[in-house]
Amino acid sequence: MTEAFRPYRKLLKRAREISLVSGTAGLLSWDHETYMPPKALAFRAGQLAHFSGQAHRLFTAKKVGDWISACEQHAFAAGSDEAANVREWRRLHDRATRVPARLVEKFLRVCTHSLAAWRAARERSEFNVFKPHLQKVLELNRQMADCWGYQESPYDALLEEYEPGIRAAQLRALFAELRPAIVAILGSAMERSAAVPEDLLNGNYSIAAQQAFNRQVAEAMGFDFEAGRIDTTTHPFCCTVGPGDCRLTTRYNEQNFTRSLYGIMHEAGHGLYEQGLPAEHYGTPLGMSASLGIHESQSRLWENHVGRSPAFWEHWHPVACGHFLELKKFSPAQITAAVNRVSPSFIRVEADQVTYDLHIILRFEIEVKLIEQQLAVADVPACWNEEFEKMLGLKVAKDADGCLQDIHWSKGMLGYFPTYTLGNLNASQLMRQAALDLPALEVELARGEYGALREWLREKIHRQGLRHPPAELMRRATGEPTRSVCHLDFLRKKFAAG
Dist CA 484 CA 314 (whole Å)? 29
Does 82 qualify as catalytic in the annotation?
Answer: no
* Cβ-contact 463, 278 below 8 angstroms: yes
* Cβ-contact 450, 216 below 8 angstroms: no
Dist CA 423 CA 304 (whole Å)? 12
Distances (CA, A) of 165 to 75, 169, 177, 471: 24, 12, 20, 9
In eight-state DSSP terms, residue 495 is: I
Based on the number of CB atoms within 10 Å of its own CB, is 218 exposed (0-12), middle (13-18) or buried (19 or more)? buried
Pick the closest to residue 490 from 417, 420, 424 (CA basis): 424
Dist CA 274 CA 247 (whole Å)? 10
Decide: helix, strand or coil at residue 498.
coil
Alpha-carbon dihedral sign for residues 80, 428, 272, 56: positive
- Alpha-carbon torsion angle 371, 374, 379, 384, nearest 10: -80
Alpha helices in 232-371 (DSSP H): 258-276, 292-300, 310-323, 332-339, 356-371
Q: Out of 267, 296, 303, 367, pick the active-site residue.
A: 267
| 210-216 long-range Cβ contacts below 8 angstroms, 24+ apart | 210/252, 210/257, 210/260, 210/261, 210/323, 212/323, 213/257, 213/261, 213/319, 213/320, 213/323, 213/324, 214/250, 214/260, 214/261, 214/264, 216/319
Dist CA 158 CA 140 (whole Å)? 11
Label residue 465 left, alpha or beta by phi (over 0 means left) and psi (-120 to 50 means alpha): left
Beta pairing, strands 238-242 & 245-250? antiparallel
Across the beta sheet with 238-242, what order do the strands follow?
228-232, 245-250, 238-242
Strand partners, 44: none
Dist CA 213 CA 8 (whole Å)? 47
Dist CA 257 CA 255 (whole Å)? 7
CB atoms within 10 A of CB 405: 20
Dist CA 429 CA 426 (whole Å)? 5
Catalytic residue numbers read 267
